[in-house]
Structure 1
């Protein structure tokens, strides 16, 4: 038997790390990348440079692939249906992936499932935003374009009707959501295979800075077993009801219900490996990337349990210090247990160019090690 070929659409760091997870298994990867310089295109041997929005390009790329999966959610739904009609397995499939592509579709389906969500509805103009605000507790509210937003892009914090015009200029539907008074942000990461096997990773705390994930703590500190279990069960139920194949990240708000009891609300869905799961590379028996590969190939899934009591992931963002390699000397000498993962990207201010993982038995120490390394690599810490 020959080993299967996984076709990965998108050449970013998620594709790069998924490819890395397939190497020990002998899995071959074929990549559809925007440019030869993209993160994954630097390391994958079989690279096609082309536009994922062009159906003919997608069809030509899919020749010789045993399954198609994704680094991002932006491939047009109708193109994915065409690939399926051609007999190419697409995982996750278009009927599932649309819930990560379109926030309006996602909210409607979660409502039908009875999944807890912030108050929301599609709005048509600034006056409709004001009406939505008046239906609840008033301004501020959150506005999101239903398609194309990520890492804080396509999201607006709106304090009044006058400031609500910007989201409508893109000419796409806009979703209004109540501003949730949350305790913190959590993420429940699960993986599901075509025949229905599923595994759940520990629920993590995700700390954001300026709308971008900065630090992830696994497992989430001081989270009750009961609420963690409910969050995992919710993520597994969503994965099953939407027929997700591969990795699903359910981003959550931890909040309190009408009785003051701890509760969770669904914020976003992502159907691919996710920043909140990067800790699993070094902190779990089987990483999110390895389990995503197993799932799309319908192989038995690996053990998601943590290897250490605490694991912390800190994103490395670009700053004014472009020579990160020189910083390795300090970071590696200071912390031999540090794990550095760089994406091969040019350093630009605010751009995710890598992450670090630390693990151990003392959370304060593990957190300090991760944040120090990320800060030193960026240049905001100099000693």
Structure 2
């Protein structure tokens, strides 16, 4: 027997569906507080010293945190090539906006302190703010469009045709999902600042964080209610075969009201996932109100995990439904790479994921504690 056949094709597909969720949660939790902190910069820091405190709270870790974005993009490319092709072509302008924001962010980090003029530094501070706001919003807008279905289709020769527009992505439900994402990462950034800073900066972060956490819970519940009442889901009626080929056109799919909640009806225990999203945000607000910084950060991370995983649980086995041709919708069972490719990637992940987690934990352990305002004032030990 060939080694990779020890694990069935469908099992590997399920593993990579779960690993994709882990990578998305990892990116949102790890790089999310960087984005949220940058987005909060103009409102939590009023003086140059305070802004340097905020920037230095993420300065040593923001580059390393972006490894989760690289891992997520690489995993989609290797494990789910159809999804990579459709999303990166259909969402091209949105992805370009995110890319520009992520390019400008390191430029702002590096250039801000090169000159002491207030106008120079203020401009770069706003670049940092925009670099945090734009990805946080657009990632949520993209998720809102995925839940509604993306207008793409396959030709008989499997060529992909996307027939949407950038403005079409900015529909009301997608914008609501964008606000959920933005509030969620602002909450996470505020919790991080409460943990890493003191004085006026921490006080302002606490106030804004409580508002952002409450907004996250309210907007998330509202998005769920609207999803149940007004956004039709997708349902497979025929064609999925165990260990079948990666050909989305072999199945039959229909749109059906409330279909995104069918998994919860079949397995009521799954309601714990969205409950974690809403409850985590409320716990984060309570912890920030009580000035329990570490508890707030943990609760915020749990809320992020619950919100993101709830989307995957609701849609399973769909990964990218098609509003133009439901039959072309991409699922975990018919849009993956080959059996061998998935097996090799699992082996590689089993080797390198523990290494990434180990060095990340070590870095955060070394850098624990508050940002030292006196050291920044005296130009000691801090990078920015």
TM range (shorter): under 0.3
TM-score, L = length of structure 1: 0.26
Q: Name which structure has the greater RCO, CA cutoff 8 Å, separation 6+.
A: 2
**Structure number with higher strand proportion:** 1
More helix by share: 2
Question: Normalized against structure 2, the TM-score is what?
Answer: 0.26
Q: Between Structure 1 and Structure 2, whose CA radius of gyration is higher?
A: 2
